[in-house]
């Protein structure tokens, strides 16, 4: 009866369930697809296969969504419940349950499309200017003496960086220059903070040295991180006098600051770990150097020992060599003694003749010298001043012993001493007279 009533005159055709679902899917395909939807994510999950399942909803409705692994791999953020998103896909029917669902092909945060266009245009322009060139990027110092840190005082990134630095290198001084990291005023604040750190890095004096700079901020939406896509900030980053590390957002977040920095870190914590060598690693490296030095010293000692062994073998037995040399010296000494005795015998006669001749010549020269000495003594006696004084002459001198030989050298009142043959007179010049 039920069948008959269904097949009565004017009755609608009877559909198989699967055929009806397929017909609905075809109708949706022809009328709506492709479709773009804006709403809030709910019930997001990711299967082990990589496929994503969630619902998109607003105040008046809800729609099941499926995003297969191929499309999910292109996501540039991690979707979470409550995110306001825009998505594009194909509206259809899941025939096994008869559920209406949207097969998502593209998914982005709401409003991200215009920001992404701005981001890509700025990135292309700055890349053409050479701000991203690999050859201008510098390596980080292996052992920095101080770190400059630019971030917000209220940011979780500050806690993450300080915790990482305390854990890895508590001895490393950190110069913190706070700045805004979100909002319209953030780009100018970041630029001003970086210039302060640059001045410290180039300023000698008692300030802690700055060998590297950290520019960090925690994760957030593209709107939250937009301050780090500022063109003025990009030009300021490439002017850094020391290597600069950008640690902005999470691992999947990219900003213009990341491309301009010398090194891009996936997170603020990773940025701190990049510039701060772990204390344990440094100790291990020192230990490795010490062990290497010890090995080199041992090798040097071993080489010197081998060299000494070779010299010993080359010398053979030093005792025998010394005995041979001793016998040779004795033999040569005997030969020399015999030669000297022979030479002395040969010279004895010659020496006697020389002595006789020398004695004769010595006596003749001695007689000549005595005669010459007597003659000179007679002449010297004639020149003795005492003989002259005995004839009535006097020897005039000043009290200081200077000889007075001219009237002009003894003006009136000059005290003089006159040496006579038998004594000395003290005189005073009364009136000099010239001859």
Per-residue model confidence (pLDDT) at position 378:
79
Per-residue model confidence (pLDDT) at position 135:
94
Per-residue model confidence (pLDDT) at position 5:
43
49 phi, psi to nearest 5 deg = -75, -15
Per-residue model confidence (pLDDT) at position 433:
74
Distance between CA atoms of 260 and 112, rounded to whole angstroms?
22
Distance between CA atoms of 187 and 12, rounded to whole angstroms?
67
Per-residue model confidence (pLDDT) at position 3:
43
Per-residue model confidence (pLDDT) at position 112:
58
Per-residue model confidence (pLDDT) at position 394:
81
Q: Could you tell me the CATH superfamily of domain 13-110?
A: Nucleic acid-binding proteins (2.40.50.140)
Per-residue model confidence (pLDDT) at position 187:
95
As averages over each run of 10 residues, the pLDDT of the chain (435 residues) reads: 47 69 67 81 90 89 90 87 86 75 87 71 93 94 91 91 91 92 94 94 76 92 87 96 93 89 94 83 75 84 79 67 76 79 73 71 82 82 71 80 79 82 83 73
Per-residue tokens: 100:
């209406």
pTM, to two decimals: 0.47
Cβ neighbours, 10 Å, residue 219? 18
SS (H, E, C) the chain: CHHHHHCCCCCCCCCCHHHHHHHHHHHHHHHCCCEEEEEEEEEEEECCCCCEEEEEECCCCEEEEEECHHHHCCCCCCCCCCCEEEEEEEEEEECCCCEEEEEEEEEEECCHHHHHHHHHHHHHHHHHCCCCCHHHCCCCCCCCCCEEEEECCCCHHHHHHHHHHHHHCCCCCEEEEECCCCCCCHHHHHHHHHHHHHHHHHCCCCCCCCCEEEEEECCCCCCCCHHHHCHHHHHHHHCCCCCEEEEECCCCCCCHHHHHCCEECCCHHHHHHHHCCCHHHHHHHHHHHHHHHHHHHHHHHHHHHHHHHHHHHHHCCHHHHHHHHHHHHHHHHHHHHHHHHHHHHHHHHHHHHHHHHHHHHHHHHHHHHHHHHHHHHHHHHHCCHHHHHCCCCCEEECCCCCECCCHHHCCCCCEEEEECCCCEEEEECCCCCCC
CATH class of segment(s) 121-277: alpha beta
Q: Is the dihedral of CA 299, 305, 306, 308 positive or negative?
A: positive
Per-residue model confidence (pLDDT) at position 327:
82
* Contact status, residue 149 vs residue 174, Cβ threshold 8 Å: yes
């Amino acid at each position: 009866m039920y069948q008959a009533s269904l097949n009565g005159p004017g009755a609608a055709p009877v559909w198989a369930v699967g055929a009806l679902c397929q017909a609905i899917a075809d109708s949706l395909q022809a009328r709506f697809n492709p479709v773009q939807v804006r709403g809030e994510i709910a019930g997001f999950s990711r299967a082990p296969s990589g496929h994503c399942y969630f619902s998109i909803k607003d105040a008046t409705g809800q729609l099941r969504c499926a995003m297969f692994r191929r499309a999910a791999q292109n996501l540039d953020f991690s979707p979470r419940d409550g995110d306001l998103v825009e998505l594009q896909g194909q509206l259809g029917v899941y025939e096994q349950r008869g559920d209406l669902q949207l097969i998502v092909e593209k998914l982005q945060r709401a409003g991200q499309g215009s920001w992404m266009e701005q981001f890509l245009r700025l990135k292309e322009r700055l890349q053409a200017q050479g701000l991203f060139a690999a050859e201008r990027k510098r390596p980080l110092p292996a052992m920095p003496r101080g770190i400059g840190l630019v971030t917000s005082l209220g940011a979780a990134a500050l806690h993450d960086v300080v915790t990482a630095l305390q854990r890895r290198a508590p001895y490393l001084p950190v110069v913190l220059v706070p700045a805004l990291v979100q909002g319209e005023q953030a780009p100018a604040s970041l630029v001003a903070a970086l210039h302060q750190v640059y001045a410290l890095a180039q300023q000698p004096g008692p300030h802690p040295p700055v060998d590297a700079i950290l520019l960090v901020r925690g994760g957030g939406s593209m709107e939250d991180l937009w301050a780090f896509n500022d063109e003025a900030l990009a030009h300021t980053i490439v002017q850094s006098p020391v290597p600069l590390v950008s640690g902005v957002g999470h691992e999947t977040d990219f900003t213009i600051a990341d491309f301009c920095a010398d090194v891009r870190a996936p997170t603020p914590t990773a940025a701190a770990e990049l510039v701060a060598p772990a204390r344990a690693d440094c100790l291990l490296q020192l230990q490795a150097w010490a062990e290497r030095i010890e090995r080199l010293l041992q090798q040097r000692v071993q080489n010197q020992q081998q060299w000494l062994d070779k010299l010993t073998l080359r010398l053979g037995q030093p005792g025998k060599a010394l005995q041979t040399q001793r016998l040779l010296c004795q033999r040569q000494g005997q030969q020399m003694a015999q030669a000297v005795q022979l030479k002395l015998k040969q010279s004895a006669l010659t020496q006697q003749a020389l002595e006789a001749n020398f004695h004769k010549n010595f006596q003749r020269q001695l007689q000549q010298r005595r005669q010459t000495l007597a003659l000179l003594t007679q002449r010297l006696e004639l020149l003795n001043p005492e003989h002259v004084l005995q004839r009535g002459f006097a020897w005039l001198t000043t009290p200081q012993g200077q000889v007075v030989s001219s009237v002009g050298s003894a003006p009136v009142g000059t005290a003089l001493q006159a040496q006579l043959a038998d004594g000395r007179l003290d005189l005073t010049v009364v009136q000099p007279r010239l001859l």
